[in-house]
Amino acid sequence: MSKVVIYNSAELGALVAGLAQKDDYPITINYKVGSVRSISANAQFYVWLPQIARFYGEDNEFIRKWMKHHIAWPILEGGECEYSAKVRYMLAKAGYEHLQPQQKINMLDMFGVTRFFTTKQHNNFRDMVQIFWAKQGLQLNYINGD
């Protein structure tokens, strides 16, 4: 069964138009009203990413990797989870400490980080991103305005 999350009336219209062109009937639609935030925590980060890149004068990929290395990884590493211990081990075996800063950023990018966050860690990550960039002069707001 396919699950579709709709964030606005334009997306709802597109879904209905797409369904009208199919011959897969009957269709069952279940719905529920979403939470206060209009998009997921991870999606919110990807809304901020181009804003930060424009502000900083870099491309999205550089900013994503930089924040993963400087903000997200310390959060995960500070928690005591089996995954972060494995990543620390792999980085040590690869000579991470002896690499240049950009090489470190690129090496860490080979590992998942935010996907292993708890809800509390992801909330902390978004807070830290907002605080860091506010200090630089960039206000990052949630889609719902918070």
57 assigned to some structural domain: yes
**Model confidence over 6-53: pLDDT tens digits?**
766 777 777 777 777 777 777 777 777 654 444 577 788 889 999 999
In terms of residue numbers, what domain contains 48?
41-136
pLDDT, tens digit, for every residue of 37-93? 445 777 888 899 999 999 999 999 999 999 999 999 999 998 878 888 999 999 999
Flag whether 18 is in a domain. no
Residue 77 belongs to some domain of the structure:
yes
Q: Is residue 30 a contact partner of residue 41, using CB atoms and an 8 Å limit?
A: no
pLDDT at 37: 43
Query: What average pLDDT does range 119-138 have in this prediction?
Result: 93
Would residue 62 count as lying in a domain?
yes
